[in-house]
Amino acid sequence: MSQVYLLPVATFLIFQVTFLGTYIFAVLEGHVVPTVPYISDAATYSPESCVFGQLINIGSVLLGITIYVRYRQVLQLYEHHPDLDGSVLRQNRLALWFGLVSCLGISIVGNFQETNALISYLIFPMSGTRINAHLRLGMSVVCTILFILLAVTGVMSHILFKGQNPRKWYPSDGGWYLHVVSSISEWIIATIFSFYILSFTNEFRDVSLSHPQIALMSYSTTI
């Protein structure tokens, strides 16, 4: 497989379609108000919840494959560049496990591979560019700040909420502006997360995959 660079592109597209498609479905069905609902609120009721669940499952699988390819890419670079610091391997393993665990909880917006930003800094002379390394680190920092903002304003807005249904949050329900700040933060995090994945496209152009080798432990199996 020589077109490995399509993996981050496909992952980017599937997540964008998931978030925007779920929002459109929820608004058309009258399950949320159009003014910046939480992504999770937009995916609460059927049929949009079914669409959201299926697409998220597909996206998490693609993301897991992308993370594994990146892990193997860094291993190959380390083998051909022994001058790299040994911490690259430790950071690479940490990024792999953190990324795979994040795939299991991908429905929580803000699962972000911040450790991979450090690896980008350590290996950018051999893979990628300084611009990409700076960009990924910047996106990691912004997402961390926005996640804290999302959590704080989200809790405060729910304390002030006096309405009946938080999925249909109106200005008269209380805590409106805090809710909007929290919701916008979540949408920005989800968007940056998708672009973070997309940023690996050019680096994956130099990667190819071959079929895995299978060793039979016994030849007595019948077909």
pLDDT single digits (tens) 26-41: 888 888 888 888 887 8
Q: What's the token pair of residue 155?
A: 């809790």
Residue 169 lies in a domain: yes
Helix axis angle for 114-123 and 130-160, nearest 10°, is 170
Q: Residue 112: what pLDDT?
A: 39
Residue 212 lies in a domain: no
**In the chain, how many domains are there?**
1
Dist. CA 116–CA 128, nearest whole Å: 13
Of the candidates 146, 142, 144, the one whose C-alpha atom is nearest the C-alpha of residue 154 is 146
- Higher-scoring residue by pLDDT: 15, 217: 15
Residue 221 lies in a domain: no
Is residue 22 pLDDT above 50, yes or no?
Answer: yes
Residue 132 lies in a domain: yes
- Higher-scoring residue by pLDDT: 27, 45: 27
Q: Residue 218: what pLDDT?
A: 63
Q: Residue 203: what pLDDT?
A: 82
Count of Cβ atoms closer than 10 Å to residue 35 Cβ: 13
Of the candidates 81, 101, 70, the one whose C-alpha atom is nearest the C-alpha of residue 5 is 70
Residue 12 lies in a domain: yes
The answer to whether 158 and 166 have CB atoms below 8 angstroms apart is yes
Residue 215 lies in a domain: no
Dist. CA 150–CA 155, nearest whole Å: 9
Of the candidates 74, 75, 67, 69, the one whose C-alpha atom is nearest the C-alpha of residue 98 is 67
Dist. CA 171–CA 184, nearest whole Å: 15
Q: Residue 217: what pLDDT?
A: 72
Of the candidates 142, 141, 123, 143, the one whose C-alpha atom is nearest the C-alpha of residue 133 is 123
Of the candidates 164, 181, 158, 186, the one whose C-alpha atom is nearest the C-alpha of residue 19 is 186
Residue 131 lies in a domain: yes
Residue 213 lies in a domain: no
The number of C-alpha atoms within 13 Å of 103 and in the hemisphere containing its C-beta is 19
Q: With pLDDT > 70 as the criterion, what percentage of the chain qualifies?
A: 82
Q: Over the chain, what is the mean pLDDT?
A: 80
Query: Worst-scoring range by mean pLDDT, 12-26, 68-82, 110-124, 128-142?
Result: 110-124
Q: For residue 139, what are the domain limits?
A: 6-203
The answer to whether 8 and 15 have CB atoms below 8 angstroms apart is no
Query: Worst-scoring range by mean pLDDT, 3-17, 125-139, 168-182?
Result: 125-139
Query: Worst-scoring range by mean pLDDT, 79-83, 119-123, 218-222?
Result: 119-123
- Cα–Cα distances (Å) from 72 to 75, 113, 204, 209, in that order, read 5, 16, 11, 10
Dist. CA 32–CA 27, nearest whole Å: 6
